[in-house]
Amino acid sequence: MNKNNILKTYKAGDIIMSQGDHGDYAYIIEEGRVEIYIEKEDGEKQVFGTRGPGSMIGEMALIDSGPRTASIRAIKDCKFLIITQDDFTRRLNESDPIVRMTTEVILTRYRDTLSRALINKDRKQSAPTESVELQSAASSNAIEQVKMANELKEGFEKGQLFFQFQPIVDIQNNRLAGFESLMRWNHPERGFIRPDIFIPVAEQTGLIHEMTPWLLSEGAKAIEAVQKAAPDMVDKPFASINLSSNNFQKAALLKEAKKCIKNTDIKPEQIHLEITERVLMSNPEKTRLILEELEQDNFHISIDDFGTGYSSLSYLHNFPIHTLKIDRSFVLEMMENEKSMALIKSMIALGNNMNMSIIAEGIEHKQEVIAFKELGCDMIQGYYFSRPLNLDDLIEYAKKPIIVD
């Protein structure tokens, strides 16, 4: 049983809900039987029917806290699972926009139809209009998302998506260690759209599965290009690739990772797969199995935005992790805020003790580079060294010596 759904029991004869009460949860009947009825103004009781195990009751409370349209009474001892409005809203927000819109519209129309029927029959009033606000808010959001999903698919097919590569510098040796591949979308009308906006759309629609092999192969191509253009300056540079939680729902990842380096001189350890703590914790068991497979084949795993997730430290030794990328938010404050500095120190110590390398992200100033070097941090990624670059500029960057001045 999902821990969000609390169990509730009633005795035969108990009233579970009364017409007119405000409700903010629905029930799924696990055991027992209930009777659904309305009480008319003259006090007469009209029974709609009974419901048993597997049925849902009080479902309209999931979309709004409006009055219950009927009363429900237990006719046997009952056990229910409770679904709260908050829980339902959260799940709905996580679901596909079309599923969300359809669910909201159907539940809203259902409530309107019922209340219209009641009002017309009992009070001879005109029918209320549909809950226009809720419906239009839901649909405008959904339309926007569906539109973007279609445009993204088209854009992907038409070559509007491309990569930039941000150098990652080994600060102990002043060498280019590798780079992070960052996807970009040049939309024909809207210009550049940030990955924070379109990646969630790609995840929701499943387009991300088509993107991943491309992501990996473009990363591998960039490694080859850098290696070839600057053999004296770089030694086995790595490409850091951002993965999504969807990549851990399918078994394809290992196969795709192997494929991207097939027939190349690239070693698996040059492919760094970045995942966030959130992805790690959303399905820990399955994720661990996939990561262990990747690790057996020597692919390299990095934790992105490290320090911002809600995970416990214990996951660090339960997963095969090679690198921690300290989130930019800590760096932003480290020079002014002693606590941020203390956190950074402990993250570096943790990484060193567990044999993981550390990348500090979002470094923009020289004094931060110096501070991180003294703290024993291995690598830095940030505007101080370079913004994300197109491939030609990355190659030029790789050819030049790196000087901190």
Region from 11-19, 42-50, 189-197, 349-357 binding ligand G, contact rule CB under 6 A: 189-197
Choosing from 295, 305, 333, 393, the residue that interacts with ligand G (CB under 6 A) is 305
Phi-psi region at 13: left, alpha or beta (left = phi > 0; alpha = psi -120 to 50): left
Region from 66-74, 141-149, 283-291, 375-383 binding ligand G, contact rule CB under 6 A: 375-383
What part of residues 304-323 is at the interface with Mn ion (CB under 5 A)?
A: 304
Shortest distance in whole angstroms from residue 152 CB to ligand G:
13
Shortest distance in whole angstroms from residue 97 CB to Mn ion:
26
| 199 touches, from ligand G, Mn ion, none (C-beta below 5 to 8 Å by class) | ligand G
Local structure of 135: helix, strand or coil = helix
Nearer to ligand G, 35 or 361 (CB): 361
Choosing from 215, 261, 266, 303, the residue that interacts with ligand G (CB under 6 A) is 215
Residues in contact with ligand G, counted by CB under 6 A, come to a total of 20
What part of residues 348-367 is at the interface with ligand G (CB under 6 A)?
A: 361-364
Shortest distance in whole angstroms from residue 390 CB to ligand G:
13
Q: Does 333 bind ligand G (CB under 6 A)?
A: no
CA angle, 250 then 256 then 259, to 5°: 160
Choosing from 383, 392, 396, 400, the residue that interacts with ligand G (CB under 6 A) is 383
Local structure of 170: helix, strand or coil = strand
For the beta carbon of residue 238, count every other beta carbon within 10 angstroms.
23
Shortest distance in whole angstroms from residue 389 CB to ligand G:
11
Shortest distance in whole angstroms from residue 142 CB to ligand G:
23
Q: Does 382 bind ligand G (CB under 6 A)?
A: yes
Q: Does 219 bind ligand G (CB under 6 A)?
A: no
| 195 touches, from Mn ion, ligand G, none (C-beta below 5 to 8 Å by class) | ligand G
What's the CA gap between 301 and 295, in Å, rounded?
A: 8
Choosing from 61, 199, 279, 280, the residue that interacts with ligand G (CB under 6 A) is 199
Q: Residue 61: CB partners within 8 Å, gap ≥ 6?
A: 23, 24, 25, 26, 68, 85
Nearer to Mn ion, 51 or 272 (CB): 272
Q: Does 242 bind Mn ion (CB under 5 A)?
A: yes
**Pairing status of strand 323-326 against strand 357-361:** parallel
Q: Residue 395: CB partners within 8 Å, gap ≥ 6?
A: 225, 226, 229, 230
DSSP 4-60: TS-EEEE-TT-EEE-TT-B--EEEEEEES-EEEEEE-TTS-EEEEEEE-TT-EESGG
Amino acid identity for residue 350 in this structure: L
Q: Does 170 bind ligand G (CB under 6 A)?
A: no
Region from 99-107, 108-116, 286-294, 378-386 binding ligand G, contact rule CB under 6 A: 378-386
Region from 13-21, 27-35, 107-115, 235-243 binding Mn ion, contact rule CB under 5 A: 235-243
Q: Does 196 bind ligand G (CB under 6 A)?
A: yes
Amino acid identity for residue 336 in this structure: E
Q: Does 104 bind Mn ion (CB under 5 A)?
A: no
Nearer to Mn ion, 32 or 351 (CB): 351
Amino acid identity for residue 47 in this structure: V
Shortest distance in whole angstroms from residue 362 CB to ligand G:
4
What's the CA gap between 387 and 364, in Å, rounded?
A: 10
What part of residues 234-273 is at the interface with ligand G (CB under 6 A)?
A: 242, 244
What part of residues 265-294 is at the interface with Mn ion (CB under 5 A)?
A: 274
Return the closest-CA partner of residue 356 out of 344, 364, 348, 367. 348
What's the CA gap between 344 and 334, in Å, rounded?
A: 8
Nearer to ligand G, 70 or 169 (CB): 169
Contact 249, 289 (CB under 8 A): no
CA angle, 33 then 31 then 100, to 5°: 90
Could you give the strand order of the β-sheet that contains 45-51, starting from the edge strand earlier in sequence? 15-17, 71-74, 34-39, 45-51
Note the residue count of the chain: 405
Nearer to Mn ion, 59 or 327 (CB): 327
Q: Where does this chain bind Mn ion (CB under 5 A)?
A: 242, 274, 304
Q: Where does this chain bind ligand G (CB under 6 A)?
A: 166, 182-183, 194-196, 199, 215, 242, 244, 304-305, 361-364, 381-383, 388
